[in-house]
Amino acid sequence: MFELKSKQDWINKVPRCLPDRIRAGEKLIWINVNGEVFERGLDFDVAEENNTYPCKVYRPVNVAWQKN
């Protein structure tokens, strides 16, 4: 969906770029350059400390859903 270059980028971008329906329940996967998954705010802090940005944000889509 998009890429975040830092924790500050997360703070600035995410509230504006995610539609309400995604924030309300669709699952997103947040993965840094090492393939590690972000699950909470602390992960964004640690990624900054460890210099493992950018973080790519993916929205998984069910295979059956794509057929409809």
**In angstroms, how far apart are the furthest CA atoms of the chain?**
43
Which segments of the chain are extended strands (E)? 2-4, 29-31, 37-38, 55-58
Per-residue confidence in pLDDT tens, the chain, 68 aa: 889 999 898 888 887 776 655 555 667 899 999 999 998 889 989 999 999 999 998 988 777 766 65
